[in-house]
C-alpha cells in the first residue's frame, strides 16, 4: 500500500537513516560501476560524501514528496498526466510571471510544466539555451535561483511538476572551466578534449559523423592555437567523461538543481557523452554505465526525481536507454519517432507505418514510459523506418524531399505552412519547422478567410492530438497549441535568430488570443474546449492506464488507423481518418459503442468517417 502524504509529514530531514538505507540497497552496484569505469576509490568516496551533503540540505517538503513517490513508484504512469513545454520569456516574461499564470496552466489541465533552458548563457551564442555558462545561475532576465525555488514551491502546492533541461554533453565556451582551460590550467583542460595539433582530431573525423554539417560543419573548432572537440556548435565544448572529476561535478550540479525543486530532468544529448577513438562516439556502452549511475544516485538522494532521456535516433537506438526492468536507466524517453511518423502519415494519408510504430511501442514492457508529443521546441527530422517504407514503395531520399515539400505547402495538395531548417544543398536533406496549427492548415485558412478550410484544419489538429492521447505515457503539449497559435515570422527581423527557422514555432505566447477562447465562435475556443474534453476522457477511463493491453486493428483502409485499448472489461477504440476525404470501414464488432466525445451510441458494424475526423468509442463489459 502506498503511503499517504500525512504518513510522512514530519521529521524526515534529520533522518540520515533514510539515506543510509537507500545507500545500503544500491552501494554495491554503484561502487562497482564507478570504480570499474574510473578505477578511483578516492573520487568515489568524495561522491558519496557529497551525496549525503545534498541529501541533508534537501528541503523537508521535497523529502516528503520523495517518500510519497518512493512508496508509489508508478506515480508518473497515471492516465491523468499532461505536460506543456514553454520558453519562460515567451510564455510569461520571467519565472515570476510563470508563477502568476499557474491558474491558466491548471485550467488547461496541465500538471507537468517543461521549462525550456533557463540557466545562465552567453547572449547570442547559446544554441537556444543549451550552451550553459553556469549550471547554478538563472539567466538574469528570467530571475534567480530564489525565483526558481518560489516557482517550484507554488507548483508543488498545486500538484504540478517542473521539468528542466540538463545539458550533460557540453558547456559553453564561456563556462569557468573552459576559460581556465584556455588560460593553460591543465586540470581544467583535462575536462574537455583539447589538442595541440590536428593529429588526433583527424583520427576522430575518420569515424565520427557530423551533427550539423551545414550550419556547424566539423567536429573540432580551432581556438587560438588549440583544437577543441565541439560536436554540436563551436561554442559548445564537449565534456570529457573519462575524467571522474567531470562526472562528479556534473552530478553535484544535478543535485543542486534537484534541491531547488526540479521534479524531472531532461537529459540532453545523452548518446554523445562518451568519446572513443575509432568509433562513431554514439551510444557507447559507457554511456549506459553513466546513466545507470545517475539513476542510482537519484534513487538514493532524491527518489522523487525523474530522468527523461533525449535520444533523437532510430527506434532500435532509443529503447536501450530505458535500461532493463531489473536495472533501469531513464524513467521516461522522448517518443521522437512516433512524432515524426504521425506527420509522415498526415502527408501520405497512409497509416501503415504509424500502425507499425504503434505496435512496436505497445509491445515494450509496461514499465517503459514515453513522453509523447506532436511538436516540440526543435525541428521535425525524418528519422523514419525506411526499410519498412521500402516495402510500401517509398524510397528514402525521394520521400524526404516529398515530406519537406508537403510541409512547406508546395506538394501533395497541402495546406501546410512550414519552413525548412538545416537544409543540405548537396543531398537535399532538411528538417521542418512550424507550429502544429500552421502545419495543419489553420494559418493558410485564416489568411484565405476560408471558413470551410478552417473547420477542416481544426479537425485535423484535434484528430492528431486525439491520436497522440491514445498512446500510453505522458502527453506533452507545446505552449500555444491549446489555442491553435500559428507561426511567428518576427524571428526574421532578429539578427540573432533569423538564420534559425526553429524560432518560427518558438514565438511569444499570444495572451491576446488566449482571451478569445471565451468566444464560442473563435478557433481558440473550439481548440481549447475540444482538447480539454479529450484530456478528461483520457483521465476518467481505466483503459488509458499503462497496464492496458493496446493493439492496432487492421481496417484494410490505409487512410484509417484504429487503436484498441483493453483493461478490466473496458474496451476503447480510437478511430482516426488521416485523409481529407470520407472513408468507410467495417470493424469486426456487431454491437454499438458509445462515442466518448459526442455521447452518442454509434453502430460500428459499418463505420463512416468524414475527412479528418475521429471517434473514441467505448464499451464497458465489466458490469460496473
SS (H, E, C) 390-457: HHCCCCHHHHHHHHHHHHCCCCCCCCCCCEEECCCCCCCCCEEECCHHHHHCHHHHHHHCCHHHHHHH
How large is the average pLDDT for residues 556-565? 96
CA 41 – CA 27 distance, rounded (Å): 13
pLDDT > 90? residue 428:
no
263: Cβ contacts below 8 Å, ≥ 6 apart: 112, 152, 161, 162, 163, 304, 305, 306
pLDDT value for 9: 43
The fraction of the chain above a pLDDT of 70, given in percent, is 97
CA 138 – CA 406 distance, rounded (Å): 40
How large is the average pLDDT for residues 123-151? 95
3-state secondary structure of 344: helix
pLDDT > 90? residue 307:
yes
pLDDT value for 422: 86
CA 605 – CA 7 distance, rounded (Å): 52
Higher pLDDT, 16 or 85: 85
Are 48 and 34 in contact, with CB atoms under 8 Å apart?
Answer: no
Higher pLDDT, 183 or 1: 183
pLDDT value for 5: 47
C-alpha angle 28/296/251, rounded to 5°?
115
* String of DSSP letters for 57-100: HS-HHHHHHHHHHHH-TTGGG-TT--EEEE-HHHHHSSHHHHHH
CA 211 – CA 379 distance, rounded (Å): 14
pLDDT > 90? residue 313:
no
pLDDT value for 429: 86
pLDDT value for 569: 92
How large is the average pLDDT for residues 40-65? 96
- Burial classification of residue 495, based on how many CB atoms lie within 10 Å of its CB (0-12 exposed, 13-18 middle, 19 or more buried): exposed
CA 475 – CA 114 distance, rounded (Å): 12
Are 374 and 339 in contact, with CB atoms under 8 Å apart?
Answer: yes
Q: Please, which contacts does 313-321 make with residues 24 or more away whose CB atoms are closer than 8 Å?
A: 313/271, 313/282, 313/283, 313/383, 314/383, 314/385, 315/357, 315/360, 315/385, 317/271, 317/282, 317/283, 319/364, 319/368, 320/283, 320/288, 321/270, 321/271, 321/288, 321/291
Q: Return the C-alpha cell found at 41.
A: 576509490
pLDDT band at 312 (very low <50, low <70, confident <90, very high): confident
Kindly state the DSSP code that residue 126 receives in the 8-state scheme: S
pLDDT > 70? residue 329:
yes
pLDDT value for 7: 43
pLDDT band at 6 (very low <50, low <70, confident <90, very high): very low
pLDDT > 80? residue 330:
yes
Q: What is the mean pLDDT of the chain?
A: 94
**Top-ranked range on mean pLDDT: pick from 115-129, 287-301, 351-365:** 287-301
Q: Considering only CA atoms, which of 71, 63, 64, 55 is closest in space to residue 301?
A: 55
pLDDT value for 617: 96
pLDDT tens per residue, range 141-193: 999 999 999 999 999 999 999 999 999 999 999 999 999 999 999 999 999 99
pLDDT value for 291: 98
CA 154 – CA 294 distance, rounded (Å): 27
CA 120 – CA 127 distance, rounded (Å): 12
Q: Which residues pair with 369 in a beta bridge?
A: 332
pLDDT value for 318: 87
pLDDT value for 622: 62
Helices and strands (H and E) in the chain: how many: 22, 25
pLDDT value for 410: 96
pLDDT > 60? residue 1:
no
3-state secondary structure of 565: strand
Higher pLDDT, 180 or 2: 180
- Burial classification of residue 387, based on how many CB atoms lie within 10 Å of its CB (0-12 exposed, 13-18 middle, 19 or more buried): exposed
Tell me which residue has cell 543531398: 427
Question: Which pTM was predicted?
Answer: 0.94
The fraction of the chain above a pLDDT of 90, given in percent, is 87
pLDDT tens per residue, range 501-549: 999 999 999 999 999 999 999 999 999 999 999 999 999 999 999 999 9
pLDDT tens per residue, range 27-45: 999 999 999 999 999 999 9
CA 542 – CA 78 distance, rounded (Å): 10
pLDDT tens per residue, range 598-624: 999 988 888 999 999 999 999 987 645
pLDDT > 60? residue 4:
no
Torsion of CA 447, 448, 449, 451, to 10 degrees: -110
pLDDT value for 591: 76
Amino acid at each position: 500500500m502506498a503511503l499517504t502524504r500525512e504518513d510522512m509529514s514530519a521529521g524526515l530531514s534529520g533522518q540520515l537513516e533514510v539515506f543510509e538505507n537507500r545507500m545500503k540497497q544500491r552501494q554495491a552496484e554503484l561502487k562497482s560501476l564507478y570504480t570499474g569505469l574510473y578505477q578511483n576509490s578516492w573520487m568515489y568516496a568524495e561522491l558519496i560524501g557529497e551525496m549525503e551533503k545534498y541529501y541533508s540540505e534537501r528541503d523537508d517538503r521535497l523529502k516528503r514528496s520523495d517518500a510519497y513517490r518512493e512508496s508509489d513508484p508508478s506515480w508518473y504512469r497515471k492516465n491523468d498526466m499532461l505536460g506543456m513545454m514553454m520558453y519562460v520569456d515567451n510564455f510569461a516574461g520571467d519565472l515570476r510571471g510563470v508563477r502568476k499564470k499557474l491558474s491558466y496552466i491548471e485550467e488547461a489541465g496541465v500538471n507537468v510544466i517543461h521549462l525550456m533552458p533557463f540557466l545562465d548563457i552567453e547572449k547570442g551564442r547559446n544554441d537556444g539555451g543549451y550552451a550553459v555558462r553556469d549550471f547554478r545561475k538563472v539567466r538574469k532576465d528570467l530571475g534567480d535561483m530564489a525565483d526558481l525555488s518560489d516557482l517550484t514551491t507554488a507548483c508543488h502546492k498545486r500538484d504540478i511538476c517542473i521539468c528542466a533541461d540538463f545539458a550533460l554533453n557540453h558547456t559553453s565556451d564561456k563556462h569557468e572551466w573552459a576559460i581556465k582551460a584556455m588560460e593553460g590550467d591543465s586540470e581544467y583542460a583535462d575536462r574537455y578534449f583539447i589538442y595541440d595539433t590536428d593529429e588526433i582530431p583527424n583520427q576522430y573525423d575518420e569515424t565520427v559523423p557530423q551533427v550539423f554539417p551545414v550550419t556547424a560543419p566539423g567536429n573540432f573548432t580551432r581556438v587560438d592555437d588549440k583544437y577543441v572537440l565541439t560536436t554540436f556548435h563551436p561554442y559548445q565544448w564537449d565534456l570529457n567523461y573519462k575524467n571522474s572529476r567531470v562526472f562528479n561535478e556534473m552530478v553535484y550540479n544535478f543535485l543542486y538543481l534537484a534541491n531547488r525543486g526540479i521534479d524531472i530532468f531532461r537529459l540532453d544529448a545523452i548518446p554523445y557523452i562518451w568519446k572513443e577513438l575509432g568509433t562513431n562516439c554514439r551510444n557507447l556502452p559507457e554511456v549506459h554505465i553513466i546513466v545507470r549511475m545517475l539513476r542510482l544516485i537519484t534513487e538514493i538522494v532524491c527518489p522523487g526525481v525523474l530522468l527523461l532521456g533525449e535520444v533523437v535516433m532510430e527506434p532500435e537506438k532509443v529503447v536501450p536507454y530505458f535500461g532493463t526492468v531489473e536495472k533501469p536507466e531513464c524513467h521516461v524517453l522522448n517518443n521522437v519517432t512516433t512524432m515524426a511518423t504521425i506527420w509522415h502519415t498526415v502527408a501520405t494519408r497512409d497509416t501503415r507505418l504509424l500502425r507499425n510504430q504503434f505496435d512496436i511501442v505497445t509491445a515494450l514492457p509496461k514499465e517503459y514510459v514515453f513522453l509523447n508529443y506532436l511538436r516540440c521546441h526543435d525541428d521535425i527530422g525524418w528519422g523514419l523506418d525506411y526499410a519498412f517504407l521500402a516495402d510500401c514503395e517509398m524510397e528514402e531520399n525521394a520521400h524526404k524531399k516529398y515530406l519537406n515539400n508537403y510541409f512547406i505547402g508546395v506538394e501533395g495538395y497541402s495546406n501546410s505552412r512550414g519552413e525548412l531548417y538545416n537544409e543540405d544543398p548537396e543531398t537535399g536533406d532538411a528538417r521542418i519547422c512550424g507550429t502544429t496549427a500552421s502545419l495543419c492548415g489553420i494559418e493558410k485558412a485564416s489568411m484565405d478567410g476560408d471558413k470551410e478550410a478552417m473547420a477542416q484544419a481544426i479537425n485535423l489538429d484535434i484528430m492528431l492530438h486525439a491520436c497522440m492521447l491514445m498512446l500510453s505515457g505522458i502527453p506533452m503539449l507545446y505552449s500555444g497549441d491549446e489555442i491553435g497559435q500559428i507561426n511567428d515570422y518576427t524571428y526574421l527581423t532578429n539578427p540573432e535568430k533569423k538564420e534559425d527557422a526553429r524560432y518560427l514555432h518558438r514565438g511569444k505566447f499570444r495572451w491576446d488570443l488566449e482571451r478569445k477562447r471565451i468566444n464560442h465562435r473563435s478557433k481558440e475556443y473550439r481548440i481549447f474546449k475540444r482538447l480539454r474534453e479529450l484530456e478528461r476522457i483520457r483521465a476518467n477511463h481505466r483503459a488509458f492506464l499503462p497496464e492496458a493491453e493496446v493493439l492496432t486493428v487492421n481496417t484494410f483502409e490505409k487512410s484509417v488507423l484504429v487503436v484498441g485499448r483493453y483493461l478490466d472489461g473496458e474496451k476503447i477504440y480510437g478511430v482516426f481518418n488521416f485523409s481529407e476525404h470520407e472513408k468507410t470501414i467495417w470493424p469486426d464488432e456487431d454491437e454499438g459503442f458509445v462515442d466518448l466525445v459526442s455521447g452518442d451510441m454509434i453502430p460500428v458494424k459499418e463505420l463512416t468517417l468524414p475527412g479528418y475526423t475521429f471517434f473514441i468509442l467505448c464499451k464497458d463489459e465489466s458490469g460496473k
